[in-house]
Amino acid sequence: MKLFILDNGTLDLDLAWLVLNPHTGTVDNPNPPAEWVTIPTYTVLIEHPKLGWVLYDATCHPEWEQRWPEALRPVFPYRASPKQLLPAQLEQLGLRMSDIDIVVISHLHVDHCGCLDFFRGTKAGSRGIIVHEDELAHALKVTHTGPLDFAGAYAKVEFDLPNLNYDVMMSNHLELAPDLHLFHWPGHTPGLIGMVAHTQHSGTFIFTSDAIYLERNLNEWRLSGIVYDTVAYYRSMYAIKQIARKYEATIGFGHDMEAFQRLKKAPEYYE
């Protein structure tokens, strides 16, 4: 198995989305300024001897400025060079979207499912994009029952697409292969899926997606600013921590720039 980290650019946002109350007001400083930060967005590509090409997450759509709800664009602006866009990242490895055999989506927020549009009609899209049943149900509910076609970071245009099927994960654990596992780690959203990959020579990798945004969240045992279920969030962090201890694993946090910079990027790989 080969494991590639695909650098798909950055998002800019208020640190308060990542760490709950990072700068609490006081009597002496009742209105502390917001801290604007830059974070990575990335996808993980697996070349597996039995499964073929497996893609974890689908980052942001290249045409995000036309597709995202107007209210979201100034809150989480996406930045990427042409070479960082997902189609180009695959092209540097000699691949097209149509070559991918399996797509796993951690959750259906716009910065994690944006390129699903490119999988319509492909073998991965026809097979069914793997998403947790709780996530799909929640995303459909919140985007189809209100006056708008989006809710929070869910946007109907990015996941409710024609000619795209879903393969729902209905358990807390799914073994894709003995060395590649999916886990249900709710908290940030109801149906977030994390991935654990056991490589032969490089050890175990845990990809948390937004179950844990930053290493800081884990080290300080601290909530992020976007949480659906606080109790589930802590339970998921605990589960991730135990797997990391058991295997002395490398953790790929959802949006931690320092941790991301320590990882090899494609075309380099782990195996």
Spacing of C-alpha 137 from chain mean position: 18
Q: Distance (Å, rounded) from C-alpha 47 to C-alpha 190?
A: 29
Average model confidence (pLDDT) for the chain? 96
What is the chain's percent helix, strand, coil content, to nearest 5? 30, 30, 45
Q: What integer pLDDT is reported at residue 226 of this predicted model?
A: 94
**Domains located in the chain, CATH noted:** 2-15+35-261 (3.60.15.10)
Q: What integer pLDDT is reported at residue 58 of this predicted model?
A: 98
Q: What integer pLDDT is reported at residue 229 of this predicted model?
A: 97
pLDDT tens digit sequence for 88-119: 999 999 999 999 999 999 999 999 999 999 99
Q: What integer pLDDT is reported at residue 55 of this predicted model?
A: 98
pLDDT tens digit sequence for 180-234: 999 999 999 999 999 999 999 999 999 999 999 999 999 999 999 999 999 999 9
Reduce the DSSP state of residue 24 to 3 states and report it: coil
pLDDT at 24 over 90: no
H or E element: which one contains 209? strand 203-209
What backbone torsions phi and psi does residue 12 show, to the nearest 5 degrees?
A: -110, 140
Q: Give the pTM.
A: 0.95
56 residue type, one letter: Y
Q: Distance (Å, rounded) from C-alpha 142 to C-alpha 155?
A: 9
Strands 250-253 and 203-209, sheet pairing: parallel
The share of the chain scoring above pLDDT 70, in percent, equals 100
pLDDT at 148 over 90: no
pLDDT at 18 over 90: yes
